[in-house]
Amino acid sequence: MLVQLHCGGYSIGLQLPASPADVQQKLDTLRNGPEQNTPISIRDVNEPFSYLRQYIQNVDLTSGSELEKLNQLSKKVDGMSAQEQHILWGALDAEGIDGLDDVLSIASSLGQYQFVEGVTSYKQLGGWLVEHGLARIDFPEEVRPYLNYEGIGLEYGDSHGGSFTPYGYVKRWEEVQTQKAEDRPSFALTLGSPTGTYRLNLPASDAEFEQARGALGLDSLDSAIIVDVEIGYSWAHLLAMDSITLQDAHILATCVQKMTNQELKVFGAVLEVEAPNSFSDANFTAMYLDDYELVEGSECAYGREALWRAGANSELFELLEGFTDFDALGRSEMEQDGVRETSFGLVRRLSAPWSQQEPDMGPEMEGFV
């Protein structure tokens, strides 16, 4: 990587990585001129690394530590493929950069970023999202020619970040929004026996079950009494605690541990609607949670989405604007789709919409041995 050092009206090239002696020689050459007291800066960076200019132009090359960082960066970018260069370009633009440490950190973690080649505008991004089924709505083929792709791309960019380069779009890979087990709310049972009590965090391993059995002095945990239940989730009061067993609690805790934050909300909403009368029924819901989804947006937005699904195009929407009660349409569609309002948000069942009557739960799930 070749950089142009500048001092007053003089410039000189410096090939990086460089030794301290090479750097010092270049600095001495510049300082021997009439502008010897003028600060030295990096004025330019050669192609294809010119996008780095804004991130390194304020580096003080008289500092040994900064020079070493600049050398490390040069070695990294010199060894990058063209696509890795493009990812670095977009990642630097998308993230908040404060000094060489940040630049080096991103250059060392390019695997955290996704590169969508050839997508260089919000309109192209919207088209790519729809084509790959990543837009908020799964649009039917017949309405796609009439979609506002730029608006879809803008909405996605606002919520997901990322940056466009002349070669494509760069953003962080989607992360599953799960919490670490140690950061999760409590899910524990206090078990009792004639010898005392034992608090067991769930889900538990075989070794932890064995430790609990030994501490309680029992031949089997099946004979343990559940003294207390501690479930720290906002939907815990919706569970039928009078029917709890250790086995069912372990199954539910295992399911909950794997849920994303969004899925935890969905689970709470479904519990509120279906009001399971046993832990076994709650487990059945948790295992088939992908049959439910929260409904985002207003009644008006739901009505508009229903028209899109029915094949309405932008011209028809223009005709209907001002003459259509989209809120009433949305309410009607929500009722038809069985959408229910809960304290966790609006929720619907995908396989068979809920009717106006409270649905019966499915067949009880047998416990495990």
- Per-residue model confidence as pLDDT tens digits over 25-73: 877 777 665 555 666 777 777 767 778 877 877 777 666 677 778 778 8
Q: What are all long-range contacts of 108-112, with beta carbons under 8 Å and residues at least 24 apart?
A: 108/76, 110/84, 112/172, 112/173
A 10 A CB-CB count for 237 gives 10
pLDDT confidence of residue 316: 58
pLDDT on residue 298: 63
* Domain extent listing, the chain: 2-79, 82-175
How far apart, in whole angstroms, are the C-alpha atoms of residue 151 and residue 15?
Answer: 45
Which CA distances in Å does 126 have to 25, 111, 248, 296, 339? Answer: 52, 24, 45, 19, 28
Confidence of residue 176 (pLDDT cuts 50, 70, 90): very low
307-356 pLDDT, tens digit per residue, is: 656 655 555 555 556 555 656 766 677 777 778 888 988 888 888 888 75
What are the tens digits of pLDDT across the range 91-145?
A: 888 887 877 788 888 888 887 788 899 999 999 999 998 888 777 677 778 788 8
pLDDT bin (cut points 50, 70, 90) of residue 264 is very high
Q: At residue 225, does pLDDT exceed 90?
A: yes
Confidence of residue 179 (pLDDT cuts 50, 70, 90): very low
Q: What is the pLDDT of residues 265-317, one digit of tens each?
A: 999 999 999 999 999 999 999 999 999 988 766 666 666 666 656 655 555 55
